[in-house]
Amino acid sequence: MDKQAQLEAFRKGIAQFVTFNDAEWKIFTPYLSFSSLSKKEHFAVEGKVCHYMCFITRGAVRYYHIKDGQEITGYFSFENELMSAYKSFLKRTPNTNYIQALEETELVMISHQNLQQMLNHPLLALKIERFGRLIAEYYICCYEDRVTAFVTQSPEERYTALEKTAKDIFQRIPQHFIANFLGITPVSLSRIRKRTLLQ
Amino acid sequence: MDKQAQLEAFRKGIAQFVTFNDAEWKIFTPYLSFSSLSKKEHFAVEGKVCHYMCFITRGAVRYYHIKDGQEITGYFSFENELMSAYKSFLKRTPNTNYIQALEETELVMISHQNLQQMLNHPLLALKIERFGRLIAEYYICCYEDRVTAFVTQSPEERYTALEKTAKDIFQRIPQHFIANFLGITPVSLSRIRKRTLLQ
DNA sequence: TGAAAACGTTAACAAAAGATAAGGATTTTA
DNA sequence: TAAAATCCTTATCTTTTGTTAACGTTTTCA
C-alpha cells in the first residue's frame, strides 16, 4: 500500500475519535511516519521503552508475555486498529511484554516525541489532547468488557462469546494463541471446542 | 468532613493528573457538587445512565454485576480514588452493573453536563481535556495489569499477589467479594487461603 | 523438495475449581 | 436483646482444567 493510501486509511480509521479539516491535516501529517513488519518480526520487546503509537493499515500482531520461559498471548490487533505497548509508551517505562507481527504488517506511526510537540503546537494541542483522551476512553471501555468477561464468565462462556462475535479470528490466528487470550491452555480449548460442537 | 476539607482532599488527590493554580481553582470548583452514600446505598444501578464522575473522600464502594440472579463483585474503590460507571458516563448508555457503598461514603462529584461546559470554557478546556486524558490513561494502565493477571496467573497466584500488595483489603472487605474480584468462588478462595497458609 | 518446526487433537492422570449443603460464629437490625 | 441475616469454613461429590506425552497433519524454510 502506498503512503497516500495508508494516510487515507488512517484518517478514516481515527474519524471515530477526531476529524481534521484539510488545513489541520496538512499540519498533522508531517508528524507521522511509516514502517512495516515482516512476519514474526517484533515491534516491541520486554525491557525496552516503546516510542511509538501505531495504526495498523494492514496485517495483524499479537501481544505476549513470557512467564517461566513460556509465551502467553494476551491480545491481538488487526488492520484499522491502533497498536502500542500503551503503558510503556505513556509512562516511558520499560515494556513488560512483546508485540510480534503475525503477518506482513504495515503501520502509520506517531512517535512519543512528535506527540509531545503536537501537544505544544497551538493549532494542534486541543485536538490532540482530545484525540488522546478519546483513544484512552475507547480502550477503557474495551478493557472493562474484557475484565468483566473474566470475572463473570467461565472459559467455555468466553469461548462461545468469542466464537459469536469474532468467528473469523479462528481462521486467522493459531488456536493456541486464542486459548491464551481466553485465559486457558490450548489443550483445554481443544476440549471445549469438541464439547460445544457435540451439544 | 466539611466541604472545604473535601475539596482539599480532592485537589490533592488529582494532583497526580493535573494541578490548578488558585485562579483556575476558583473557576473550577463551582462545577463540583457533593454527595454521600449510606452503607449499602447504590450509586449506580443497571439500566440507568450514570451522570457523575466522583472522587471518594471517605468510604468504599464495590462494583458488581448480576448474573443468573447472583451478584458478582468485579471491583472496589476506596477513599482518595476516583469512582464512576465509567463506560456509561462516557458513552451516555445504560449502565450494565451496580455500584454500592460498602461503608458510609462521601463524594465530590462532576456531572457530565458540567464536564461538557468546562470543555467549552476557554480558560478550562485544555486543562480539562488533559485531566480526562490522564485519568483515562491511568485507568488503562490499571486495566492492563488486571487483564495480564487473568491471562498469565492462576487464581492462587492472583490471591498471593493481592495478599502482598493490599493485605489490608482483607480486613475491610468481606472475603466472598474478594473471591469474585479474583475470578473464583468464595469456597475456592477459602481453600486457597488454607492451602497457602500450610505451605 | 525434503527435513524441521509448528499445530491441533487425544489420552491418561493429577490438581484445582464449581456446586451444594451444613454448621458455627459474628453482625445486623427490628 | 432476640431473631434474622451474613459470613467463613468444611465436607462431599462432580466437573473442569492443567500437565505431559504421543501422534498425525500441515506449514515453514533452508
Cell of B27: 473557576
Q: What is the 3-state secondary structure (H, E, C) of chain B?
A: CCHHHHHHHHHHHCCCCCCCCHHHHHHHHHHEEEEEECCCCEEECCCCCCCEEEEEEECEEEEEEEECCEEEEEEEEECCCEECCHHHHHHCCCCCCEEEECCCEEEEEEEHHHHHHHHCCCCCHHHHHHHHHHHHHHHHHHHHHHHHHHHHCCHHHHHHHHHHHCCCHHHHCCHHHHHHHHCCCHHHHHHHHHHHHHC
- Domain-embedded: residue A132: no
The closest alpha carbon to A87, from B144, B81, B149, B133, belongs to B144
> CA A68, CA B155: separation in Å to the nearest integer?
17
Please name the residue that has the C-alpha cell 492451602. Answer: B195
Output the pLDDT for position B66.
95
Shared domain check, B20 and B8: yes
DSSP A47-98: TS---EEEEEEE-EEEEEEEETTEEEEEEEEETTSEE--HHHHHHT---SSE
Phi, psi of B65 (to 5 degrees): -105, 160
- Domain-embedded: residue A185: no
Output the pLDDT for position B1.
85
Residue A199 predicted with pLDDT over 90 = no
Shared domain check, B140 and B76: yes
Average pLDDT, rounded, for chain B: 95
- Domain-embedded: residue A20: yes
Compute the average pLDDT of residues A17-35.
Answer: 96
> How many residues would you count in chain B?
199
- B198 min Cα distance to partner chain A (Å): 24
> CA A183, CA A159: separation in Å to the nearest integer?
10
Shared domain check, B74 and B169: no
Share of chain B above pLDDT 70, in %: 99
Q: With contact defined as beta carbons under 8 Å apart, do B132 and B124 qualify?
A: no
The closest alpha carbon to A13, from A27, A30, A32, belongs to A32
Looking at the C1' of nucleotide C11, which residue has the nearest alpha carbon?
A187
Partner-chain contact A141 B87, CB within 8 Å: yes
- Residue B189's nearest nucleotide, by CA–C1', is C17
> CA B133, CA A125: separation in Å to the nearest integer?
13
- Domain-embedded: residue A179: no
- Domain-embedded: residue A53: yes
Output the pLDDT for position A197.
87
Shared domain check, B116 and B38: yes
B110 pLDDT band, cuts 50/70/90, is very high
> CA B26, CA B67: separation in Å to the nearest integer?
45
Share of chain B above pLDDT 90, in %: 96
Nucleotides of D under 7 A from a protein CB: 6-12, 16-21, 29
Output the pLDDT for position B195.
93
Residue B199 predicted with pLDDT over 90 = no
- Using the Cβ of A81 and the Cβ atoms of chain B, whether some distance falls under 8 Å is answered with no
> Which residue segment(s) compose the domain that A28 sits in?
3-122
- Looking at the DSSP bridge assignments, the partners of residue A100 are A42, A62
Test the B interface: residue of A76, A133, A145, A185 with most B CBs within 10 Å: A133
> CA B43, CA B35: separation in Å to the nearest integer?
10
pLDDT tens digit sequence for A75-101: 999 999 999 999 999 999 999 999 999
Output the pLDDT for position B102.
96
Compute the average pLDDT of residues A98-124.
Answer: 96
- Domain-embedded: residue A79: yes
User: Residue A28 is part of a domain; what is its CATH number?
Assistant: 2.60.120.10
Contacts of B124 (CB under 8 A, 6+ apart): B24, B27, B28, B118
> CA A195, CA B40: separation in Å to the nearest integer?
41
Partner-chain contact A151 B125, CB within 8 Å: no
Compute the average pLDDT of residues A161-178.
Answer: 96
Shared domain check, B71 and B27: yes
Shared domain check, B131 and B166: no
Shared domain check, B59 and B12: yes
Shared domain check, B110 and B32: yes
pLDDT tens digit sequence for B1-39: 899 999 999 999 999 999 999 999 999 999 999 999 999
Q: What is the CA radius of gyration of chain B?
A: 18
C-alpha distance from residue A109 to each of A29, A54, A124, B108, B138 (Å):
10, 4, 17, 39, 22
Shared domain check, B71 and B52: yes
Output the pLDDT for position B197.
86
- Looking at the DSSP bridge assignments, the partners of residue A34 are A108
> How many residues would you count in chain A?
199
- Domain-embedded: residue A195: no
Q: With contact defined as beta carbons under 8 Å apart, do A141 and B85 qualify?
A: no
Number of independent structural domains in chain B: 2
> CA A20, CA A16: separation in Å to the nearest integer?
11
Residues of A in contact with B140 (CB under 8 A): 86-87, 90, 136, 139-140, 143
- Looking at the DSSP bridge assignments, the partners of residue B52 are B111
Shared domain check, B104 and B32: yes
Residue in A with minimal Cα distance to B143: A143
- Domain-embedded: residue A89: yes
